[in-house]
Amino acid sequence: MSPDRPTLTATPHNVGVDAAVAAARRVVTALLHAGDGSAAAMAEVASRLTAVAEHLEEHAPTRDERLVDMWAGEGVTRHDPVTGPENAVAPPLPLSGLPDGSIQGTVTLGLPYQGPPGCVHGGVSALLLDHTLGVANHWAGDSGMTGTLTLRYHRPTPLFEELTVRARQVSVEGRKIRTTGEILAGDAVCVSAEGLFVNKHLPRPR
Ligand SMILES: CCCCCCCC(=O)SCCNC(=O)CCNC(=O)[C@H](O)C(C)(C)COP(=O)(O)OP(=O)(O)OC[C@H]1O[C@@H](n2cnc3c(N)ncnc32)[C@H](O)[C@@H]1OP(=O)(O)O
pLDDT digits (tens, 9 = 90+) for 61-83: 999 999 999 999 888 999 999 99
Q: pTM to 2 decimals?
A: 0.97
Q: Which residues line ligand 1 (CB under 6 A)?
A: 130-131, 134-135, 138, 145-148, 174-176, 196, 198, 200
- Per-residue pLDDT, averaged over 93-114, amounts to 97
Q: Positive or negative CA dihedral for 192, 1, 110, 53?
A: negative
Q: What confidence score (pLDDT) does residue 75 get? A: 83
SS3 labels along 145-206:
EEEEEEEEECCCCECCCEEEEEEEEEEEECCEEEEEEEEEECCEEEEEEEEEEECCCCCCCC
For ligand 1, mutation pick of 198, 199, 200 (most atoms within 8 Å of CB): 198
**Closest residue (by CA) to atom 19 of ligand 1?**
147
Q: What percent of the chain has pLDDT over 70?
A: 99
* Protein residue with least CA distance to atom 13, ligand 1: 146
What is the pLDDT averaged over residues 85-104? 97
CATH number belonging to the domain at 94-198, selected among 3.40.50.1820, 3.40.50.880, 3.10.129.10, 3.30.460.10: 3.10.129.10
Q: Could you count the other beta carbons within 10 Å of the beta carbon of residue 194?
A: 16
Least confident of 3-12, 38-47, 94-103, 150-159: 3-12
- Dist. CA 50 → ligand 1 center (Å): 40
The per-residue pLDDT for 74 is: 83
For ligand 1, what atom is nearest to the CA of residue 148?
46
Q: What is the mean pLDDT of residues 190-198?
A: 98
The 10s digit of each residue's pLDDT in 108-130 is: 999 999 999 999 999 999 999 99
Among 55-59, 72-76, 155-159, 183-187, name the one with the lowest average pLDDT. Answer: 72-76
List of residues 6+ apart from 129 with CB closer than 8 A: 149, 151, 165, 167, 181, 182, 183, 191, 193, 195
CA of 22 to the centre of ligand 1 (A): 34
Q: What is the DSSP letter of 110?
A: -
| Cα-to-centroid distance, 146 and ligand 1 (Å) | 6
Compute CA 129 distance to the chain's CA centroid, rounded to the nearest angstrom.
Answer: 9
- ipTM of predicted assembly, 2 dp: 0.97
Q: 98 CA distance to ligand 1 centroid (A)? A: 27
Q: How far is the CA of 91 from the centre of ligand 1 (A)?
A: 27
- Write 37-46 long-range contacts (CB < 8 A, 24+): none
Q: What is the mean pLDDT of residues 88-94?
A: 97
Which band of pLDDT confidence, cut at 50, 70 and 90, is reported for residue 1?
Answer: low
Cα–ligand 1 centroid distance for 200 (angstroms) = 7
Measured in Å, residue 144 CA sits from the centre of ligand 1 at: 8
Mapped onto helix, strand or coil, the DSSP state of residue 85 is coil
pLDDT confidence of residue 5: 84
State the pLDDT at residue 4: 72
Closest Cα to atom 48 of ligand 1:
147
